[in-house]
Structure 1
């Protein structure tokens, strides 16, 4: 029954935060404790921190980080072409692209820990309404899933499509954050803000479709468990983002229209 926990790692190269579940467990637990309890206690008698400069630097960092990984991944997939896009499996150890696949996958995984800073900054600014259930679940899901995928599947493989799409979405999202931080709140009129949510939903549709296509391929060695996890995650996240979009934009516009009438 517990063989799955004693099984050797899928990849012989064990990098920090990939060799044991304890680091990710402690980090995620500490994150939750700070966001839901300790951070709010710390800020109880304090004014919100002015983090405008910090956030600008952070957003630029995320744009460069995600943008660099995105371009490198596109190069590997479409120029190096080591993958069969109908059935993307983890590259063998002797592949000339193996080291690059490992580096890109690991860098993507580590970035999910940097993403936790989003919520930390929200707490320090006392903007607690921004911490929704969707926000928390999404930030918890990514590092935890990242660890277990690397642990049992290895670096790269089928989920590289989801990763590349997510990198692109993050470049767009953090670009929006950076641009909006440069403009006074009273002058912010970004009609395309809601389309970022639609872009996030589109990525889940593509991931779902690609996974179904992968399952249809004969003799494809992508683990079935991985495809089922991908389908479940894409469906669940799509529904949650769709619910957010409905309440934040469709219903909000309807209420505003009725109010103006």
Structure 2
């Protein structure tokens, strides 16, 4: 049984390039990172902080957030350039580029940069633990962060880099640019944080991005069935987009629309 389960770890990658790239060359490092993340968030982090005061991470958070703004903005600009300004793909069917395509290495490194950013995003939750902001560690938060890292890894391994998921990188990097800019401003001081009226709109654009993912897969399945992007991954995209729409919508309702929230205003 174990050999069958872990046999999936030995399946050769779709693109031989990743065999030489840190964190992509084997499933074990990212699997251990995700397991360590979950253990720290749900158990050992809280044990570590049990008799400690919350850490003052203001300067760390300011640096981290502005770095995330710059990083995500760069990914967004690159994705937008190769999708719309100097198109590399057929937008009706965004398949991964052939291994000998002249822009293949750009696609590879852009995908890798996005993947590393998803790994870096795990630090959001680590900071919550170190600051004892446990109420911010919701199931939505943890599932979203873990899912983005782990499913993205296996997608790259079995399918290859780029392809239809360039749309995800485009939308997600834009959302994160806005989100981390909000975090950067709010970390500058309580006075500024209380004046940021547009926090709820970040959740709205997060929901919109998942609607875009859903519509993209649905439209390809309905109107371009000959597209070479794997059908299984189209349905996976539909499923994950649906899950995230439901979870983010529920979060939005509970946070901004529920009767309890109305009473607190």
Aligned partner of 1:241 among 230, 234, 248: 248
Cα gap change, 1:96/1:79 in structure 2, threshold over 3 Å: closer, same or farther? farther
For residues 195 and 136 of structure 2, the distance between their equivalents in structure 1, rounded to whole angstroms, comes to 19
Deviation readout 1:103-144 (Å, 9 max, x if unpaired) = 111110111110010011110001111101111111110110
3-state SS in 2 of match to 1:13: helix
Q: Which residue of 1 is the match for residue 14 of structure 2?
A: 10
Q: Higher mean Cα deviation, 84-93 or 207-216?
A: 207-216
Displacement of 1:48 in angstroms is 0.6
Displacement of 1:167 in angstroms is 0.4
Aligned partner of 1:228 among 221, 230, 235: 235
For residues 201 and 187 of structure 1, the distance between their equivalents in structure 2, rounded to whole angstroms, comes to 23
3-state SS in 2 of match to 1:157: coil
Cα gap change, 1:134/1:256 in structure 2, threshold over 3 Å: closer, same or farther? closer
Runs of 5+ in structure 2 lacking a partner?
Answer: none
For residues 232 and 48 of structure 1, the distance between their equivalents in structure 2, rounded to whole angstroms, comes to 38
| TM-score computed with the length of structure 1 as normaliser | 0.94
Displacement of 1:158 in angstroms is 1.0
RMSD: 1.8
For residues 223 and 96 of structure 1, the distance between their equivalents in structure 2, rounded to whole angstroms, comes to 23
Q: Which residue of 1 is the match for residue 260 of structure 2?
A: 255
Q: Which residue of 2 is the match for residue 20 of structure 1?
A: 26
For residues 72 and 19 of structure 1, the distance between their equivalents in structure 2, rounded to whole angstroms, comes to 24
Aligned residues: 258
Residues 187 and 193 in structure 2, CA contact (< 8 A), matched pair in contact too? no
Cα gap change, 1:167/1:186 in structure 2, threshold over 3 Å: closer, same or farther? closer
What does 1:102-181 correspond to in 2, within 5 Å? 102-181=108-187
Tell me which stretches of 4 or more aligned residues in structure 1 moved more than 2 Å. 1-8, 183-187, 254-260
Q: Which residue of 1 is the match for residue 84 of structure 2?
A: 78
Q: Higher mean Cα deviation, 185-194 or 151-160?
A: 185-194
Cα gap change, 1:217/1:26 in structure 2, threshold over 3 Å: closer, same or farther? same
Displacement of 1:256 in angstroms is 5.3
Residue 48 (structure 1) aligned with residue 54 (structure 2): yes
Residues 9 and 26 in structure 2, CA contact (< 8 A), matched pair in contact too? no
Residues 76 and 170 in structure 2, CA contact (< 8 A), matched pair in contact too? yes
Displacement of 1:77 in angstroms is 1.3
Displacement of 1:5 in angstroms is 5.2
Displacement of 1:255 in angstroms is 3.4
